[in-house]
Amino acid sequence: MDGPTNGQKSDSDAASWLPPNKAYRCTYVSQQITVKSIYHLWVTQAEKDAMQKILATC
């Protein structure tokens, strides 16, 4: 992700922000799930729903 795109994302989760490049969204969400799993981070229901919606298109 470039600097301006990362700035747009800020601290938003998958329910609030996804990469503008739709071809990268599956990779992005998969990486988020991996990190959250490794570090036992929580996921809101809205974020989980958004992640499942993206992964269903992969």
Confidence band, pLDDT 50/70/90 cuts, at residue 55: very high
Buried b or exposed e, range 2-19, using 16+ CB within 10 angstroms: eeeeeeeeeeebbbeebe
Does position 5 have pLDDT exceeding 60, yes or no?
no
- pTM metric for this prediction: 0.78
Q: Which amino acid is at 52?
A: Q
Give the model's pLDDT for residue 7.
54
User: In the chain, what is the straight-line distance between the N-terminal and C-terminal CA atoms, in Å?
Assistant: 20
* Token pair for 19: 């990469």
pLDDT at position 14 is: 85
Give the pLDDT confidence score for residue 1 in this predicted structure: 54
pLDDT tens-digit map of 13-54: 888 999 999 999 999 999 999 999 999 999 999 999 999 999
